[in-house]
Amino acid sequence: MAIEVGQEAPDFTLVDENNEKVTLSELRGTPVVLVFFPFAFSGICTAEMCGIRDDYSSWMAKGAKVYGISRDSRFVQAVFKEREGLTHSLLADLKGDAAKKYGVWNEAVGAAERATFVIDREG
C-alpha cells in the first residue's frame, strides 16, 4: 500500500547518475518531488521524464528538488539523462528498496509502478 497524505516520507539513500549519494532526510527544509518510474528508455517513461524536463522551471520556482527513481543502474540513468537532456537528477533503486518503502513496487514486473510523491519541507 502506498503511503498516505500527511504521513512522514520514508527515508532512503540512493545514488544518482553521478554516483553521488542522496539521502532524503538530509533534504529536510526543501520541498522534494519523487517520481517513480519503471524503466529508462521505455516510451511512456521517457515521455514522463521529458515532461518534467519541459516544466522544470515551475518546480525550481517553488524551490523544489525533483528526482526520478527507477531500478536502472546509475550508468543507464546517466545515458538516459544525457540523451534526453533531462534537467532533474535520476536515482538508481536497483533492488526496489525505496519503491517498496513507498508501496509502489510491482513484484510481477520487478520494477516500480509510476507514482509521484510531493514532500513538503518538513518531510
Question: Which residues, 6 or more positions from 1, have their beta carbon under 8 angstroms from its beta carbon?
Answer: 103
- What pLDDT score does 1 carry? 64
Domain boundaries, the chain: 37-119
Q: What percent of the chain clears pLDDT 70, i.e. is strictly above it?
A: 99
C-alpha to C-alpha distance for 35 and 52, rounded to whole angstroms: 9
Q: Where are the alpha helices (DSSP H) in 19-88?
A: 43-54, 56-61, 74-84
> Looking at domain 37-119, does it have CATH number 3.40.30.10?
yes
DSSP for 79-122? Answer: HHHHHHT--SEEEE-TT-HHHHHTT-EETTTTEEPPEEEEE-TT
Rg value, the chain, Cα: 13
- Residue 86: pLDDT band (50, 70, 90) is very high
Q: Is 50 annotated in the active site? A: no
Which one of the listed residues 45, 91, 92, 112 is annotated catalytic? 45
